[in-house]
Structure 1
Amino acid sequence: MSTAQRHPVTLPGGRADEAYRRVRETAATLLAGSRSAAATPVPTCPEWSVADLVTHLVEVCARVHGRVTGAEPVPVPSGAVPELLELWERLSRPVEEFLDGPMSLDRGIMVMDAFTHELDLRRALDTPPPVDHPALPIAMDVVVKGFAASLEGHGLPPVAAETEYGRWVASAGEPAATMSGPWYEVYLALAGRRSAAQIRSLRWSVDPGRWLPAFTWGPFRMPEPAEAAPRG
């Protein structure tokens, strides 16, 4: 059974509904009045444009909306970012009410997916990462648990992840290695946005080579150097 031990941190937020709302509102702000951004490539999501990324987020919201309301699935238009953002806002109220319930894996995954794609959008638009974000503690817990399951699947011992916000231990037991760095770099490494060389460049207590295969897990694939987003 995969586990993630979370140690005291100073992260803000942690409510899934507020975290998800922040992602949606941030995306709307970043894209306000910028029709030309729709075709901008998203480096961390090969073959996706900004419009594709927003379409994905709205499609996820529409699926959850249908599940929690029992309504027929809402068709999601493609390509027109202002219309997509308007639909996302319209669908979000019952979805955010659902997210306000007790924390669960499906709620956590929805927040993690949205937050990770906000970071992708920021990279595509050359916008700095957020200084703090209410989605980060939820998303970090999810990716650490996913990484823990990958470690166990590869028969590898636990790894501790340390950032300015605290320490997480992926898998049960005493960590055999510690990976340290700014939260943004550690998070992107765990979320399939950093190459092997970039992961190695984090501060490690031991050589990380044996653990590198575990950074490909679930929906995340460790990118080749040419695909990995530059630091920033």
Structure 2
Amino acid sequence: MTAMGPAPDFVGYPEVRRGVRALLEGRPAGHRRPVPACPEWTVEDLLAHLTTIAARVLTRHGGTPPPAPAGVPALLDHWDDLGEDLDRRLAEAGGRTGEVMVMDAFTHELDLRAALGVPPPAEHLAWAPSFEVLVRGFSGSITARGLPALRLRTTGGSEWTAGEGRPAAALTAPALELYRALAGRRSPGQLAELDWSEPPSQWLPAFTWGPFSPPAAPGV
């Protein structure tokens, strides 16, 4: 995840749709499986959420989404239809919107992979823009709490400053672990066990921000 030049904010969304379809089409027995990262949802519930978000964004951009169907196969087709319309509208709007939708979809693709026992992708177009959204939200959480800035580093060499001013400490983790930590998928205990250059206790509350909150039990 090296630095990227300007790109449309919805980059990666078609790849997420293809990835989720590939995960679910060949695993009909898993459609009612619980998703540990979203404990109130099954796999089908998670897919329904993705189509709901797509319909909401499409409406915001002037589209008129049809009602959502039931069942994973129909929901996959419905999401593709919504997504193709969204891709076109976002491109026509200049491509400078849609980043939160992409981050949400990619985060949930990772949730599905964890639920189904499928490794995360080694590369993905949504990695970099989704990371930027998460870092920005976490940075705002640090600032709002009046905490010292924190240097975030992946073991692959990417880094960001979260918060304002000179970083008082550094957090280093593999890219997937850091991503899942910023997206509320790691418990306080798991967060504390990451590679911190200073005791992490003052920064742990900042991992609760926006829609994200660390689970009480270890996450996957």
Q: How does 1:4-153 map to 2 (within 5 A)?
A: 9=2, 15-71=8-64, 73-78=65-70, 80-100=71-91, 101-102=93-94, 104=96, 106-153=97-144
Gaps of 5+ in 2: none
For residue 56 of structure 1, report the CA deviation from its aligned partner.
Answer: 0.4
SS at match of 1:48: strand
Question: 1:206 & 1:58 partners in 2: Cα distance?
Answer: 42
- Is 1:66–1:74's contact at 8 Å kept on the other side of the alignment? no
User: Please, what TM-score do these two structures have when normalized by structure 1?
Assistant: 0.87
- Is 1:42–1:48's contact at 8 Å kept on the other side of the alignment? yes
Q: Which has the higher contact order (CA 8 A, sep 6+)?
A: 1
SS at match of 2:152: strand
Question: 1:165 & 1:86 partners in 2: Cα distance?
Answer: 38
Identity of aligned residues (%): 43
Match of 1:186 in 2: 178
SS at match of 2:31: helix
Match of 1:201 in 2: 193
- Is 1:13–1:135's contact at 8 Å kept on the other side of the alignment? no
Question: 1:12 & 1:124 partners in 2: Cα distance?
Answer: 33
Question: 1:32 & 1:125 partners in 2: Cα distance?
Answer: 12
Match of 2:166 in 1: 174
Match of 1:4 in 2: none
- Is 2:172–2:195's contact at 8 Å kept on the other side of the alignment? yes
- Is 1:68–1:98's contact at 8 Å kept on the other side of the alignment? yes
1:129-166, CA deviations, whole angstroms, 9 ceiling, x for partnerless residues?
Answer: 11011111111111111101111121101111101141
For residue 16 of structure 1, report the CA deviation from its aligned partner.
Answer: 3.7
SS at match of 2:164: coil
Match of 1:220 in 2: 212
Gaps of 5+ in 1: 1-7
Please tell me the root mean square deviation across aligned C-alpha atoms, in Å.
2.0
- Is 1:14–1:134's contact at 8 Å kept on the other side of the alignment? no
Question: 1:219 & 1:11 partners in 2: Cα distance?
Answer: 26
Amino acid at match of 1:22: E
For residue 15 of structure 1, report the CA deviation from its aligned partner.
Answer: 4.3
For residue 201 of structure 1, report the CA deviation from its aligned partner.
Answer: 1.5
Question: 1:12 & 1:137 partners in 2: Cα distance?
Answer: 11
Length, aligned pairs only: 218
Question: 1:62 & 1:156 partners in 2: Cα distance?
Answer: 37
